[in-house]
Each structure stands twice: as C-alpha cells, then as structure tokens.
Amino acid sequence: MRRSLVVGNWKMNGSEAFVEKLLADLIGGLSEQQAEIAVCPGYVHIAQATSLCAGTPVVVGGQDCSHVQSGAYTGEVAAAMLCDLGCQWVILGHSERRQYHGELSALIGAKLAAAVEAGLRPILCVGETREQRENGDAETIVASQLRGALLEQANLSGLVVAYEPVWAIGTGLTASPEQAQEMHAFIRSCLEEIPGVDAGATRLLYGGSVKGANAAELFFQPDIDGALVGGAALDATEFLAIINAA
Ligand code: PGA
C-alpha cells in the first residue's frame, strides 16, 4: 500500500504574516487524516514554517536546491542547508525551473543526487507542454525527463515523482482523471526500468490545477498517490479539502 502524499508548493508567495495565518488555519483544520502532508514555502519562510509545524502532521520542504554541497555559488541554497532548517522534502525539476532557469535533466539529476546525499526526499517533477502533447510526444518527453534525471543515480531512496502537465499548471485546466492515470501508469512502467527504483512502491503525484472539487476523482485512479498543489495550497480551506480527499 502506498500512503497518500499531498504537497503544497507555495512558489514565490507569502509573507511572515501570511505564513503564520495559513499554517494556523491548516493545522487547526486537520482531522484524523491518513495522508502524509508537506508544505514548501519560499526559502526565507522555511525556518518559520518548520517551527510552526513542529509536533504537527505537517512537514516542510524546499522548492529547489543546489547541485553541489557547498562553495562559491552565489545565490544558491545547498540541500544540507534545507536539512538544517528542518526540511524533509525538496521539489526538483519543476517546469517553472526548467522554463525560467533553463534547467535540463543533467542538472536536475545532479540536484537530486545532492538532495538524497544530504538526507532529503526528492520530488522529481516531469511533464509535457501543450504543444508536445498535441504533437503526440507527451510520453517521449516524460520518459526522457525521467531517464535523464534518474539513470546512474547511486541512491534513489525516498523518491517521489510528480506528473505535472505544463498546460495544466496555474491555468485552471486539469488533465482528466483518465489522462492523468494513463500517464501515471506509463511513468510507473518507465520506473521499472530504472535501477534502484521500486516502481510499485514509488508514490506518483499529480499536479496541475488540483483543487478540492477535482481531487477525489484524481485520487480514485489506481496510479495516482497524491498531489503537488500550487494555487490551491495558498488557501487553507481548499488545501484541507484536497487532504481530506486523499
Ligand atoms: P497549480 O500548480 O496547482 O497552481 O496548477 C501546481 C504546481 O506548479 O506545482
């Protein structure tokens, strides 16, 4: 049995006051849920979030990390620094990193190695653009993103993969549960060919305009083990509805 996982990706949003209120509302609204829950604030709010989440079922992650452990890399944040702040997870290869920062699979793979070595559990994001889907290339793209980041890794313990079709992120367009399931099953079949991965035990998250109203039908699919949530994670009521559906 794979335990459901719901992760909030807050992206570049929030302030200290916002984080305090959001986490108070989220933690205060939790009931006896079975799902594992994580939130990923901007770097500057991580310490505040880990302190507010201490002793609760909510854990904290980063939205990215450096590909190296330390050194002259101005502006970068090392995986070990995220661990220092109490992070347990890190999102890697998000499409916004690929799009705005030119991140390619080799760099994402190096970040993943650095994250695992530091003791973080990586959430590797993959997904095709609208154009790639329309051209019939969605599976080829996703397979190459997986292989590019995961082949030749010494240790893939704790790996989670998030399928986030780029055309569904922040657009209000969600992949249909059937479209998402089809890609998740494909991702699981690709993982079977990656040494060091237990494909059947690896949790696969769906991401892209997930909200309270569409979460249950997505989670009902056999290969969807949770969600990576952007916009709806900034609203405690919506995020709680997603957690309760998981
Ligand atoms: P969204 O973002 O839920 O706002 O579509 C998801 C993500 O980018 O992780």
- What's the whole-number mean pLDDT along residues 149-162? 95
Ligand 1 within 6 A of 62 CB? no
For residue range 208-223, what is the model confidence (pLDDT) as tens digits?
A: 999 999 999 999 999 9
**Single pTM value for the model:** 0.97
Ligand 1 within 6 A of 9 CB? yes
Residue whose token pair is 């099953």: 185
94 catalytic? Reply is yes
Structure tokens at 160: 């989670």
% of residues, the chain, pLDDT over 90: 94
Ligand 1 within 6 A of 242 CB? no
For residue range 66-98, what is the model confidence (pLDDT) as tens digits?
A: 999 999 999 999 999 999 999 999 999 999 999
What residue ranges define each of the domains in the chain, with the CATH number in brackets? Answer: 5-245 (3.20.20.70)
Phi–psi pair at 245, nearest 5 degrees: -80, -20
- The mean pLDDT value of the chain amounts to 96
Q: For residue 157, is pLDDT > 90?
A: no
Cα of 227 to ligand 1 centre, how many Å? 9
Q: CA distances (Å), 126 to each of 31, 48, 91, 204, in order?
A: 31, 29, 11, 11
Ligand 1 within 6 A of 208 CB? yes
Position 241 confidence tier, pLDDT thresholds 50, 70, 90: very high
Which of the following is catalytic: 67, 164, 184, 238?
164
SS3 of the chain: the string is CCCCEEEEECCCCCCHHHHHHHHHHHHHHCCCCCCEEEEECCHHHHHHHHHHHCCCCEEEEECCCCCCCCCCCCCCCCHHHHHHCCCCEEEECCHHHHHHHCCCHHHHHHHHHHHHHHCCEEEEEECCCHHHHHCCCHHHHHHHHHHHHHCCCCCCCCCEEEECCHHHCCCCCCCCHHHHHHHHHHHHHHHCCCCCCCHHHCEEEEECCCCHHHHHHHHCCCCCCEEEECHHHHCHHHHHHHHHHC
Which of the following is catalytic: 36, 94, 96, 128?
94
Q: Which residue from 165, 169, 163 is spatially nearest to 186, judged by alpha carbons?
A: 163
User: How many angstroms separate the CA atoms of 80 and 102, rounded?
Assistant: 23
For residue range 20-77, what is the model confidence (pLDDT) as tens digits?
A: 999 999 999 999 878 999 999 999 999 999 999 999 999 999 999 999 999 999 999 9
Cα of 66 to ligand 1 centre, how many Å? 22
Atom of ligand 1 nearest to the CA of 9: 9
Ligand 1 within 6 A of 229 CB? yes
